[in-house]
Amino acid sequence: IRQYQDIIMEISDDIIELTEEIIEVIKNGTKKTINDKIHITLTDHISNLLERMALGITFDSSLLWNVQALYPEEYQLAVKAVAMIKEHVDLPIPSDEANFIAIHIVNSEMDLEIQETVGITETINQVMNVIEEDMDARIALEHSDLDRARFVLHLRFLLQRIVQDGMLQYDKSDHMMEMLMKEYPQQAACVTKIMQVISEKYQKEIEGERLFLMIHVIRLTTAKEIRG
């Protein structure tokens, strides 16, 4: 509350009202829990955005180029938010601003600092790149939306727990793991690389996640066969 009071003291009423309307659209557009801190972060972001646009300053969103694919629901809500901003002000608001607003929405769902959410997004993108490169699975990834969404959600919660130093999942199904590794050796090697990416970035041992990651990668990379 104190943070919000400090911010609104320096922001015009019309921007605050606009942001509150946008937040209402976001909350009504998702079943996910939106942390109230979005009232602080999004109000501040939109205020800074309009100041930047008035001064002709733009940010490079290329680092967030994959936001639409990773967070489709949040991205569509962000597109609506950008449209509302454009209706409200006579400034050249770039369409890729939706990437930044989508990250704010994801951030409010995960209850993290914005830098942590951006870091998680970059890590998820690295993981997807590993799968595409190792498995030559671009077509499968693009055409298995449900499997992709489930995998990204799994990664989001895994990385959130790591960042917040929470308990990680642990599965001791050695027999199942051995069976899957024997049947899907390429996916097993890919999962090892994924675990290395995550462990090196966050300095955290995640061996207990191997089975869960293995199952997701198999589903992603064999989607066509399964749906045959």
Dist. CA 84–CA 78, nearest whole Å: 10
Confidence of residue 29 (pLDDT cuts 50, 70, 90): very high
Dist. CA 154–CA 152, nearest whole Å: 5
pLDDT attached to residue 227:
40
pLDDT digits (tens, 9 = 90+) for 162-198: 998 866 666 666 788 889 999 999 999 999 999 999 9
Please answer whether residues 116 and 188 qualify as being in contact, where contact means their C-beta atoms are separated by less than 8 angstroms: no
Dist. CA 71–CA 149, nearest whole Å: 8
Backbone angles phi, psi at 155, to 5 degrees: -65, -40
What is the average per-residue pLDDT within 13-20? 92
pLDDT attached to residue 3:
64
